[in-house]
Amino acid sequence: MLAVTLTNPTTATPLQSYTSHGYEVLSLSISPDNCTFASAGGDKLVFHWDVATAKTLRRFEGHFSRINAVTHNDDASVLISGSYDATVRLWDLKSQSRKAVQVLEDAKDSVTSVCAKGCEVLVGSVDGRVRNYDIRMGRCFVDLIGWPVTCVAITGDGNAMLVGALDGGIRLMDKINGGMLQCYRGHVNGDFRVRSCFGEGEKSVITGSEDGWIWVYDLLEGKVVEKLKGHGGKVVTCVAYNPGGRKQMVSSGTDGKNLPPGDIYTHTYSFAGLIGGIAGTVIVWGE
């Protein structure tokens, strides 16, 4: 699947299609105002789109290999992309330049996840480390995980981060001192880049799993509070929770096609489901 599709999450009706990528779409990020979004993937390009018109606003190039992750900063003035080429690049959406305004080259292996909060950029890598860049101060703090990192997410207050790794564990860590606040185990993650997220009100942690289940953990106690199955027993690679207040979640899996490790199906959730990737099924869960 080389296109991005905007879909009504309730009726599963396709609303719009965005076609410019020449290879699979591996990551998406919607701006806070829902008017634009970014996509990136196997063609080593970052596209910035207008949601309503499906027109490409900007196209950024500079990575030397596939792009695994893309995200906006808080005010959507900067796009941040992480690549298999082990670099992170920052793109200024307010400038007319197509060149990256900053390149972060500290990772020793493929960058798998990026997220931003304020002037900070968190980067997860296959080298088993999470790097926290303070862009304003020009500093980098490193937390050693010891296993390839599959995803990184940050809490709303910016004080803690959620780190998934290929040892099958998800860690809730203090962002300041790197201390582990909680560890969530039970799901299976040893081969694929499985993503996790915070649930409603950041009271829970939700993750996909290679056993075909969606696992929901209590944030504070670390206990499993719910399990959902809906992808035919195939790998659930990605989950995202609706930030709009409705108790809805979307999940995606490899049940449409057997994918080799590293290939993923990606989506993001805002006013509607925005879906891109290779193959598989997306399921909307809710009350």
Give the pLDDT score at 251: 58
Whether the CB-CB separation of 209 and 215 falls below 8 Å is answered with yes
Residue 114 is assigned to a structural domain of this protein: no
Query: Does residue 265 sit within a domain?
Result: yes
Tens-digit pLDDT string for the chain (287 aa) = 567 888 776 777 888 888 888 888 888 898 988 899 999 999 999 999 999 999 999 999 999 999 999 999 999 999 999 999 999 999 999 999 989 999 999 999 999 999 999 999 999 999 999 999 999 999 999 999 999 999 999 999 999 999 999 999 999 999 999 999 999 999 999 998 898 999 889 999 999 899 988 899 999 999 999 998 866 778 888 888 776 655 555 656 554 443 333 333 344 444 344 444 434 555 555 54
The pLDDT of residue 239 is 84
Residue 42 maps to a domain:
no
Pick from 177, 183, 181: nearest CA to 164:
183
Distance CA 42, CA 119 (A): 28
212 domain residue, yes or no: yes
Q: Which domain holds residue 264?
A: 198-281
Q: What is the pLDDT of residue 90?
A: 99
Number of domains in the chain: 1
Does residue 209 fall inside a structural domain?
Answer: yes
Residue 117 within any structural domain of the chain: no
Q: Is residue 108 part of a domain?
A: no
Residue 158 Ramachandran class (φ > 0 left, ψ -120 to 50 alpha, else beta)? left
Say what the pLDDT of residue 284 is.
Answer: 55
Bin 78: left if φ > 0, else alpha if -120 < ψ < 50, else beta: beta
User: Can you tell me the distance from the alpha carbon of 90 to that of 226, in angstroms, rounded to the nearest whole number?
Assistant: 38
In this prediction, residue 178 carries a pLDDT of 94
Q: Is 137 among the domain residues? A: no
